[in-house]
Amino acid sequence: MDHLFLDANVLFSAVYSDQSKLLRLWELPAVRLLTSFYDVTEVLRNLDTDAQIERLNQLLRSTTVVASSSEDHVRELPDGIDLPEKDRPILNAALRAGATHLLTGDKRHFGEYFGNSVGGILILRPRDYLGADPA
């Protein structure tokens, strides 16, 4: 079973529109969806409508939200990995949660790691995991 850690931008894109192709992630059999409180907080800061907040709440009912740790900001990253301070908690939470995959659309900070395993976690864009462009 794949354990998919969803970055804030994946969650945001899934709830922004009720037609988002990323909603397919919640329909996949034999996967466990994970995210962190840090990511959920980021998404909530950027949502505009009650409908979007309700979609987020609905999706979180079948998503494991791992607690954020203050250590996630300062914990060492695996060798050779360099991320800005704001992205360190995402990778560290995914590592703590036992994720097999980190799904993110953050090409700017995670792009050089797409398709690579970091600390045992395969970093992918959602469309690469789903096998189609879910934009």
Question: Does residue 96 lie within any of the structural domains?
Answer: yes
Integer CA distances (angstroms), 24 to 85, 94, 106, in order: 30, 21, 19
Predicted TM-score (pTM) above 0.75: yes
CATH code for the domain in which residue 14 is found = 3.40.50.1010
Residue 67, domain extent? 2-130
Please tell me the total count of domains within the chain.
Answer: 1
Question: Does residue 105 lie within any of the structural domains?
Answer: yes
pLDDT at 80: 81
pLDDT (tens, 9 = 90+) of the chain, 135 residues, equals 999 999 999 999 999 999 999 999 999 999 999 999 999 999 999 999 999 999 999 999 999 999 876 665 556 667 788 888 888 899 999 999 999 999 999 999 999 999 999 999 999 999 999 985 444
What is the rounded CA–CA span in Å between residue 126 and residue 85? 23
Looking only at the bridges linking them, the beta strands covering 64-66 and 101-103 are unpaired
Question: Does residue 135 lie within any of the structural domains?
Answer: no
Task: DSSP letter for 76, please.
Answer: P
